[in-house]
Structure 1
Amino acid sequence: MMNHNYFVYILTNKNKTVVYTGVTNDLEIRLRQHKENKENKFAFTKKYNCYYLVYFERFEYIEYAIEREKEIKGWTRDKKNALIELKNENWDFLNDLIAEE
């Protein structure tokens, strides 16, 4: 049986003042889409230059990824910050890490 990869991810801007939570099946392509925004699909991330990856989780099933995305989106900013800092204490930008995998 084939393994599927779905990701819930959190992006921020250069100054780490804004966060955006999303879901995708291809994190590398989605990061590029946010940055390039050729189809003007990502109005929020474009407005705030929010394309630096600071957190992600992998799921095998899209239903679980969507459920988790909705859960995180409903959280306060403080709770989102705490989640990010569990795995990425310094809010390092992880974009290059994803491109290498």
Structure 2
Amino acid sequence: MLHAINQFLVKINSLDGFLHWTIQRLSALSILFTIPLVILVDHVYFLVILFFLFVFHISVGIRTLIDDYIHDDILFLISSTFLRIIIIFLLKSIFIIFIC
């Protein structure tokens, strides 16, 4: 599962700027459409989906900042690795809190 997530994030990071911008905006719109579902339906599944969307949106945005503004190779590698560790930790936490 983690390998599939890692491949997906690598594929997103290799996209051109416009497609990356589009994915960022679509994830923001999906968050905005999921918030009323969480409030109106009041089901834990929509809350889990909302948190996964938050993690995805944040990871894409921070990855864009890393790609655009960090030019040192070692610092880039450290930042990318740290971002992946944070994403894994957040996904694990969401799973433990809501699923288990």
Q: TM-score, with normalisation over the residues of structure 2?
A: 0.28
Task: Give the structure, 1 or 2, with the largest relative contact order (CA under 8 Å, sep 6 or more).
Answer: 1
The answer to which structure has the higher helix fraction is 2
Higher strand residue share: 1
